[in-house]
Structure 1
């Protein structure tokens, strides 16, 4: 009688892609963060964030530095430039002091934003490259 062994598949590589990095309340980090996965900040970060995943700034979370990510949900505080390739969601408790460059923007009533905001492909690309946005021919005269 032959027994067949079931092939076990490893979920390890799948779990790496779905990892969430959490900075809990009461934690202060000074320095830059670069991550391929998602990040949640309920503590405080003094430095820059570069994430290829989703970033969540909790209601008590604070970031003092530049943020560059695919998607972000802000319920806390950010002071610095925010570059989001897809969607920036500002919850009612959100406070952002700095320039925003985003593909799409969702703002709940009660949120606070001070700075400039650019949305869309052409404008976003030109600002990231430190170029001036395209000006209509009528405005150039």
Structure 2
């Protein structure tokens, strides 16, 4: 009645499927809360909260994040309102709109992208910001120059 061939075909198809660790928040999806993952993540929907990964974040053209981003690298094509902390390369593409401070080692921006905030690229500032990312209510790191001016 039941053949072993079907079971073998199913197990073979599972091993043929690529095993990747990519998370996708699709268009029309809205998430209220933090997202923490190990692999790459692409956001084409809306997220209200922290998005954190040890890999890459891609915010698609229709994607929107209201909250902080913490990652190894990021390509932003959509909207981000919050602090962006990227260990390596942050790339604002297309009609990206970022409102908030940036902490990154390397920064690229296409002429059509918009950015309103401060950008910190000194290694110690980026490291300090990434060390504080677990507390999403922590104040952004202020460079030493500004600290001296505030005391005067």
Does the 8 Å contact 1:71/1:85 carry over to 2? yes
Q: CA 1:32 to 1:20, structure 2 compared with 1: closer, same or farther past 3 Å?
A: same
Structure 1 position 110, deviation (Å): 1.1
Q: CA 1:111 to 1:37, structure 2 compared with 1: closer, same or farther past 3 Å?
A: same
Q: Which residue of 2 aligns with 1:8?
A: none
Distance 2:129 2:21 in 1: 31
Write out aligned runs for 1:1-141 (5 A). Answer: 15=19, 18-128=20-130, 132-135=142-145
Q: Which residue of 1 aligns with 2:5?
A: none
Deviating above 6 A after TM superposition, structure 1's stretches of 4 or more consecutive aligned residues are: none
Distance 1:56 1:103 in 2: 17
Distance 2:86 2:26 in 1: 23
The two structures have a TM-score, normalised by structure 2, of 0.74
User: In proportion to residue count, which structure has more helix?
Assistant: 2
Unaligned runs of 5+ in 1: 1-10
The two structures have a TM-score, normalised by structure 1, of 0.79
Structure 1 position 126, deviation (Å): 4.3
Unaligned runs of 5+ in 2: 1-14, 133-139
Give the length in aligned residue pairs: 124
Does the 8 Å contact 2:85/2:129 carry over to 1? no
Distance 1:61 1:25 in 2: 7
Distance 1:91 1:19 in 2: 24
Q: CA 1:131 to 1:93, structure 2 compared with 1: closer, same or farther past 3 Å?
A: closer
